Amino acid sequence: MIRYFHRKRKLLGLWLMVTLFFGLVISWFIGGALVAPANHPVKLPRDLAVEPVSFASTSGATIQGWLVAGETNRGVVILQHGIRADKSTLVSRAKLLSQAGYTVLMFDFQAHGESIGQQITLGYLESRDSQAAVDYIKKRFPGKPIAVIGVSLGAAAAALANPPLDVQALVFEMMYPTVIEATKDRIEMRLGPLGRCLSPLLTAQIKLRIGCSPDDLRPVDAVAKITAPKLFLAGTADHETKFSEAEEIFTNAVELKSFVSFEGARHQDLLSFAPDKYQTTVLDFLKTNLK
C-alpha cells in the first residue's frame, strides 16, 4: 500500500512537471505571437487626399505616414492607431479633422503597417515614434499648435513618451493603465476570472522580448507628469481596458484634464460608435486648446 502511494505521488509530480513544461512552451509561443510584427501594405484612401511622408525615429524605424492638408491658420493633429492596426484605420478621424480645418498626420508605428520593425513593444518603442512625429511636425509647420489623438496602443505611446510630448493638447482613447492589468484583462476575456492568474507567464517575457520592464509600461503613472490639457475617452462596456481602470488613470492625471464616457461602448472605434458625441467632444476640446 505504501509503495502504491509513493508511485502515485511520483506520477502526480511527473504530471505536474509535464503540465508546467507545456504551459511554459505554449505561453512562450503566445507571447511571441502577441509581439510579432504586423507589417503589410497599406492602400491609399480613395476619398481623402493625402501626401505620403516619412521620417526617422529613434525606435530604429523609418516611419511611414500620410499628411492631410488643412487651413493654414489652424493647428496640426497627429493621429496614432491601436495595436496591430495601421494608419488607414484613422481615415475617418482624419476626414473629420480636415473638414474642421486642421492639418492631420497619421502614421504607422514601428512594426506596424509599412513601418518596418522587429517586434511590437506595447508602447515602449512606439513612444519614440510618437516623439518623432511631433518633431517632424514642428520642423514642417514651425510655430503651429499641435494635438495628439491616440487610440489604445496609440494613447499609451503618447503617454509614455519621455520627456512628455511638447504639444498643446492630448486625447487618450481607451488607454490601458499598466501592461500587467492589460494582460490580465485580455486573458480574463478568454478564460474567465481565474485566467488572470496566468498573466505572469506572459508578462515575465517582457524584458526578454522587448528590452524593458513592466514598470516602464505604466501609462497610469505617466499621466501624472503630463501638464498639457488632456481629454480621456472610455467605453463603459470595455473589457480590454475596464471602465474602473480608465477612471483610475483619470484620477492619477494632473490638471488640466477632462473625462468623457461612452455608455455601452466596448474597446472599439468610438467615432463609429457615437459619431455626434465624438465629434462634438473632440472638436470642442481642440478648439479650446489649439489656439
- List per-block mean pLDDT (blocks of 10 residues) for the chain, which spans 291 residues: 58 53 56 82 95 98 96 90 97 97 98 97 97 98 97 98 98 97 84 74 82 95 98 97 97 98 97 98 97 82
Task: Please indicate, yes or no, whether residues 81 and 156 belong to a single structural domain of this protein.
Answer: yes
Check residue 143 and give its pLDDT. 94
Q: State the residue range of the domain holding 14.
A: 1-36+182-210
Angle (CA) 12 15 16, round 5°:
90
Of 166, 192, 210, the residue that ends a domain is 210
CA 193/CA 190 separation, integer angstroms: 9
CA torsion sign, 41 to 43 to 48 to 50?
positive
Pull the grid cell for residue 31. 507571447
Task: Please indicate, yes or no, whether residues 131 and 195 belong to a single structural domain of this protein.
Answer: no
CA 137/CA 213 separation, integer angstroms: 30
How many Cα atoms occupy the beta-carbon half-sphere of 229 within 13 Å?
A: 15
Task: Please indicate, yes or no, whether residues 193 and 273 belong to a single structural domain of this protein.
Answer: no
β-pairing verdict for 103-107 and 76-80: parallel
Check residue 208 and give its pLDDT. 80
Task: Please indicate, yes or no, whether residues 165 and 69 belong to a single structural domain of this protein.
Answer: yes
Q: Specify the number of domains making up the chain.
A: 2
Check residue 192 and give its pLDDT. 78
Check residue 259 and give its pLDDT. 98
Task: Please indicate, yes or no, whether residues 131 and 271 belong to a single structural domain of this protein.
Answer: yes
Task: Please indicate, yes or no, whether residues 196 and 222 belong to a single structural domain of this protein.
Answer: no
Task: Please indicate, yes or no, whether residues 197 and 285 belong to a single structural domain of this protein.
Answer: no
Task: Please indicate, yes or no, whether residues 203 and 172 belong to a single structural domain of this protein.
Answer: no
Asked if residues 61 and 129 have their Cβ atoms less than 8 Å apart, the reply is yes
Task: Please indicate, yes or no, whether residues 75 and 151 belong to a single structural domain of this protein.
Answer: yes
Task: Please indicate, yes or no, whether residues 157 and 17 belong to a single structural domain of this protein.
Answer: no
Burial per residue of 218-254, b for 16 or more beta-carbon CB atoms within 10 angstroms, e otherwise: bbbebbeebebbbbbbbbeebebbbbebbeebbebbe
Burial per residue of 84-118, b for 16 or more beta-carbon CB atoms within 10 angstroms, e otherwise: ebbbbbbbbbbbbbbebebbbbbbbbbbbbbbbbb
CA 72/CA 54 separation, integer angstroms: 21
Task: Please indicate, yes or no, whether residues 117 and 102 belong to a single structural domain of this protein.
Answer: yes
CATH number at residue 93: 3.40.50.1820
Task: Please indicate, yes or no, whether residues 50 and 95 belong to a single structural domain of this protein.
Answer: yes
